[in-house]
Amino acid sequence: MNRPNIVILGAGYGGMMTASKLQKKVSADSANMTLVNMHSYHYQSTWLHENAAGTLHHDRTRMEVDNVIDTNKINFVQDTVTGIDPDNKKVSLLNGEISYDYLVIGLGFEAATFGIKGLLENAFTISSINKARLIRQHIEYNFAKYNNEKDKKQERLNLVVGGAGFTGIEFVGELANRVPELCKEYDVPRENVRIINVEAAPTALPGFDPELVEYAMNSLEARGVEFKLGAMIKEVTADKLVYEQGDEIEEIPTNTVVWAAGVRGNSLVEEAGFESNRGRTPVREDLRPNGYDDVFIVGDCALIMNEETERPYPPTAQIAIQEAEHTAGNLKRIVEGNHNLEPFEPNIQGTVASLGNKDAIGVIFDDKKIFGWTATAMKKIIDNRYLWKVGGAALVLKKGKLNFFK
């Protein structure tokens, strides 16, 4: 094989970082490198809850791929992947087909709805720029509509979020900041609006340090968030959410349910015939799926085990970025004719969850707990560090979160 064809699917954290590292490590003379993505832009999924709440414009979250990737080295194809045929080394696109010698799959996540009745049809998910923009506009429309109807409908002002995990908590934090602004803008009394977080587990942020959970809940409740814990969502319709708590079945009238309680890997990967464990593909230590030495899977589509806990690592941007950097290194080895690939080991540097724009919680350096301004500043540093890695100082200046006091 003279110049191998390396094809990367998806320009999210995993795909974008693979491309960004490959363009530095591998010369265009030694490999054809192609990045395929459905949009012309890359977006940071970890900021989508801010776009959905309306606290950050979505143009801050997205960036044109060809502003960040050197398209003289990496061909960029804007198209939608419709199928992967790993036995024939081909990828079907909406507008054609592409063949590869080596494939990197970074097609990200989609909502897992666990068969809950009406959820797929009636709930929103925070899973892309388009979906986040729809949530923002839907909430604004309901605020506007509320005062233009004779009989005021409370369901327009009940904002329900399913799930008090990382994403659900970050989203209600943004809503707690946004709602007072919306009330002012649309002449709605603040006390008429409810932000309700419904969680099946007995606690918010299951698995987090209890002191941090208590801090987070106090911070959010003080800004008007109501928690319904141990509450199992049973059904969602266009104007209500039904849940079971204890032995009681309860209903919340609402036009707005945002589902933030479960993700799985992109179903295209399972449909391609790769092994699947709850929608993610188990990969070997070099991030290749069983049976395929010419395919790497990075990010939320891949399942890697934490040997200490004997549970899979949760899918995060942090791991997607590390897997991508690692895969770029292994592809460089392959291009140079060295097929002894390095095993991947995640290096978890901490976890920080925002609670709105002025508060956050987190754990860094293994066990150091951080709260408030320190955690908010740390979150911004993490975000800026990614921009630095993928696009250097220029990208940090253009898209970074540089105001540490707001």
Q: Active-site residue numbers?
A: 170
Question: How far from each other are the two terminal CA atoms of the chain, in whole angstroms?
Answer: 54
| Three-class DSSP labels, 244-256 | EECCEEEEEECCE
Residue number, 10 or 356, with CB nearest to ligand FAD: 10
Instruction: Provide the 10 A C-beta neighbour count for residue 152.
Output: 12
Q: Where are the alpha helices (DSSP H) in 123-163?
A: 129-146
Residue number, 109 or 227, with CB nearest to ligand FAD: 109
| Residue ranges in contact with ligand FAD by CB under 6 A | 10-15, 36-39, 45-46, 48-49, 80-81, 106-109, 126, 166-167, 170, 266, 268, 299-300, 315-318, 320
Rounded to the nearest whole angstrom, what is the least distance from the CB of residue 333 to ligand FAD in the complex?
22
Rounded to the nearest whole angstrom, what is the least distance from the CB of residue 163 to ligand FAD in the complex?
11
- Grouping H, G, I as helix, E, B as strand and the rest as coil, residue 106 is coil
Residue number, 36 or 157, with CB nearest to ligand FAD: 36
Strand order in the sheet with 90-93: 81-85, 90-93, 96-99
Instruction: Provide the 10 A C-beta neighbour count for residue 61.
Output: 20
Residue number, 297 or 335, with CB nearest to ligand FAD: 297
Rounded to the nearest whole angstrom, what is the least distance from the CB of residue 300 to ligand FAD in the complex?
4
Residue facing ligand FAD at closest CB distance: 12
Residue number, 17 or 157, with CB nearest to ligand FAD: 17
Residue number, 44 or 188, with CB nearest to ligand FAD: 44
Query: What is the per-residue DSSP string for 220-234?
Result: HHHTTEEEEETEEEE
The whole-angstrom separation of Cα 113 and Cα 308 is: 29
The whole-angstrom separation of Cα 196 and Cα 150 is: 25
Contact 98, 7 (CB under 8 A): yes
- Token pair, residue 332, equals 């460089």
Rounded to the nearest whole angstrom, what is the least distance from the CB of residue 48 to ligand FAD in the complex?
5
Task: Give the burial class of 24: count Cβ atoms within 10 A of its Cβ; 0-12 exposed, 13-18 middle, 19 or more buried.
Answer: exposed
The whole-angstrom separation of Cα 232 and Cα 222 is: 24
Rounded to the nearest whole angstrom, what is the least distance from the CB of residue 106 to ligand FAD in the complex?
4
Rounded to the nearest whole angstrom, what is the least distance from the CB of residue 128 to ligand FAD in the complex?
6
